[in-house]
Amino acid sequence: MAFDYVKKVRICEVGLRDGLQNEKTILTVEDKVDLLKGMIKAGFKVIEVGSFMHPVKVPQMANTDEVFKAMQDFDVPEDVELRALIPNKRGVDRAVACGCKKVKLNVSASLGHNLANLNRTPAESVAGFAEAVNAAKENGLDISGSISMAYGSPWDDDIPVDEVKKIIEAYMAVGITEISLSDASGMAYPSQVYNICTEVKKAYPGNTWWLHFHNTRGLAISNIIAGMQAGMTQFDASLAGVGGCPFVPGAAGNVSTEDVLHCLDEMGVETGIDIDQTIALSRKIVELIGHKADSYVLKAGQSKDLKLPLPVRQEKK
């Protein structure tokens, strides 16, 4: 059977949000803006700049508003999307005030995770979607949605795909058709990813999809390829593999952007992103947070850089 997969994908860089939200070191506005400008220069067309969560709960994201304000003086290309995560209508209000043009709602398919993350049941989160969506549309903001624990949860074990579909349909009911399926717990595996992606693409052909995988157990790139085989073309990744979900034990470890780019480059898949510039940005973010991160490419370099000299044959005496 032929190994078939899509040949062009988009990568959303989430290091500034999902990467940094789990770090002890809080980056300054200046550091974040510097990284953000570097991402745009490297070719990233979608970047998650931060979140408008409560600053007490996620202090690493407290300066997201100031980052967006600082970027108003920068000539951001029209084809570059800068987005932020929001919990509710209050997040929309903050987005409007600081110039953010794209926001993303989140709900978990897991009851336990949603309580830990948002202090609400999934049903309560869904009930609040309409208010936030209406506020976003009234203010000219684009809005998308994400579903955490779409592949499994340490609280609930298996998540039936029908539960995921209920949330997809709740998003659609309020007019959201761009949806991310997230593996915050790092429990997804390739055959499962392929089956779920194939099913939702067939059931909701008018929707746009993003996949978000953590590399907690080393399967993130395998899961991305499985998604590509199912026809998915949009994936999240984080510089140097920084960060993870602060509410899930042991789940730190987004998939490294440079590892994903290296894999896709080797496969001949078009991304439009410069891997060398990305590697430089990853080294910079590692320096800023002050500790090593989970990136194979940062440790071993790219395959194309391996140019060892041939050993000289020793003649036997």
Catalytic positions, written as ranges: 245
Q: Rounded to 10 degrees, what is the CA torsion of 247, 249, 250, 252?
A: 10
If you ran DSSP here, which 8-state letter would residue 236 be given? E
Using an 8 Å Cβ cutoff, are 241 and 254 in contact? yes
Tell me the β-bridge partners of 1: none
* Cβ neighbours of residue 308 closer than 8 Å, sequence gap 6 or more: none
Where are the alpha helices (H) located in the chain, listed in sequence order? Answer: 29-42, 64-71, 89-98, 111-118, 122-127, 129-138, 161-173, 190-203, 220-229, 257-267, 275-289, 296-300
CA proximity to 272, closest of 80, 43, 39, 36: 43
Tokens representing 225 are: 């390829």
